[in-house]
Amino acid sequence: MSSTNISADLFDRAKALMPGGVNSPVRAFGSVGGTPRFMVSAKGAYLTDADGRDYVDLVCSWGPALLGHAHPDVLAAVHAAVDRGLSFGASTPDEAELASLVQQRVPAVERLRMVSTGTEATMTAVRLARGFTGRNLIIKFAGCYHGHLDSLLAAAGSGLATLALPGSAGVTAATAAETLVLPYNDPGAVEEAFARHGHSIAAVITEAAPANMGVVTPGEGFNAGLSRITAEHGALLILDEVLTGFRTGPAGYWGLTSGSADGLSAAAWTPDLFTFGKVIGGGLPTAALGGRADVMDYLAPLGPVYQAGTLSGNPVAMAAGVATLTAATADIYASVDARSLELSAALSQALATAGVDHSIQRAGSLFSVAFGTSERGVHNYEDAQGQESFRYAPFFHAMLDAGVYLPPSVFEAWFLSAAHDDAAMNRIIDALPGAARAAAA
Ligand code: PLP
């Protein structure tokens, strides 16, 4: 194993200055142990750490780097935007350009509002749904992550259709009590919740395909069923595509499963609101919510639901988003899809050879591994939590030692990019048998 001295020193320094030494918890390597690598540069499929070591990156900034890091078109657009100034506090031409690129892919986005983070997008969508419907309750699914807004940091209560408990210290019981947390992939639980509380439910929010409890494939017709039942009860469906949007296909996971993969053909079902993040900003802090014009027009300045942001629609971030969506052609998606199939097959093969029971969970090009789950697979949070997660830390460290940077938690998706070429893939694939043996031990 090569030296991690500089990362270790940087981590010690950071711990004295920031809680846990990080600005987002999973970066602390809490669930895998060891020294978090401090990264100093990223190019294509590779990250380089402060000790001068490079890694093939399978985190891709948790999603945004669909094209690979530092794509020349995106860098050129960002450099040109920087030269024009960093932030104007006024409307700019690229905001409408980015909104129009989104609308071409997802025509149901009749109006779009830019914000800076996925959390802001879901927080605003929830407030908007409450404002529009005049109702209070929100349904979310256990194991789905929508950012760190209080009302969605809720944990399941004791029974189906009971109101939720706070999912974090600092979230009040009163806030959590306005959220219903249901098991994922369980249409019966949704029916029951609507039967009991239908007149008070403002919205159902769901990840288009969950990827924050590891990846979980939505059952056939699950999302379409949510669209139907919300419409029947006068509630809204918020489809959270912060992670999947513009990554799993030109029109996100909705496109893959609604019959409108290119955004052009008629869709079998459509949510009322979408939330986007990650790829839409190409690596800079931009996210958005969008959907039905009559709902979106409830936002200020037209409507009574307040929302604002000093840096919303920031010109540099808009330039990165426009360049990223423009460069993300059908060929890019085809190449990421093909690499994903190649890698997940090699992973499964290596684990099988080492005798490690597992299942590969997939949603488009996103996938994750769940240990000890081959019999049942993973359909919800309970299944995900029940896996042999202790096998991941030795697997992760064997890959890291071989120069492959995986998500530092088994409950995260593996992200590929169009820059993962044969050399990068070969490094990953060569490292898998050793890591699989470490997982078996
Ligand atoms: N929604 C989903 C599905 C996410 O995966 C995330 C973050 O990973 C968020 C919302 C929150 O986005 P952000 O971290 O930009 O606040």
Q: Please check the confidence at residue 161 and state whether its pLDDT lies above 60.
A: no
Taking only the tens place, the pLDDT of each residue in 293-314 is: 999 999 999 999 999 999 999 9
Taking only the tens place, the pLDDT of each residue in 34-43 is: 999 999 999 9
Q: What is the pLDDT of residue 1?
A: 56
CATH superfamily of 5-66+330-440: Aspartate Aminotransferase, domain 1 (3.90.1150.10)
Where do the domains of the chain lie?
Answer: 5-66+330-440, 72-327
Residue with tokens 């929830």: 126
Q: What is the pLDDT of residue 261?
A: 76
Q: What is the pLDDT of residue 3?
A: 87
Q: Please check the confidence at residue 160 and state whether its pLDDT lies above 60.
A: no
Render the burial of 3-18: b for 16+ CB within 10 Å, e for the rest: ebebbbebbeebeeee
Taking only the tens place, the pLDDT of each residue in 419-435 is: 999 999 999 999 999 99
Taking only the tens place, the pLDDT of each residue in 234-289 is: 999 999 999 999 999 999 999 999 988 777 778 899 999 999 999 999 999 999 99
ipTM of the complex: 0.99
Q: Please check the confidence at residue 132 and state whether its pLDDT lies above 60.
A: yes
Q: What is the pLDDT of residue 165?
A: 83
Supply the DSSP symbol for 163. Answer: B
Would you place residue 159 in the very low, low, confident or very high pLDDT band (cuts 50, 70, 90)?
Answer: low
Q: What is the pLDDT of residue 375?
A: 94
* CA nearest ligand 1 atom 12, residue: 118
Average pLDDT rounded to a whole number, residues 327-350: 98
Burial of 261 (0-12, 13-18, 19+ CB in 10 A): buried
In terms of phi and psi (left: phi > 0; alpha: psi -120 to 50; beta: otherwise), the region of 440 is alpha
CA of 285 to the centre of ligand 1 (A): 12
Fold adopted by 72-327:
Aspartate Aminotransferase; domain 2 (3.40.640)
- Closest atom of ligand 1 to CA, residue 278: 15
- Closest atom of ligand 1 to CA, residue 63: 8
Average pLDDT rounded to a whole number, residues 6-30: 96
CA of 145 to the centre of ligand 1 (A): 7
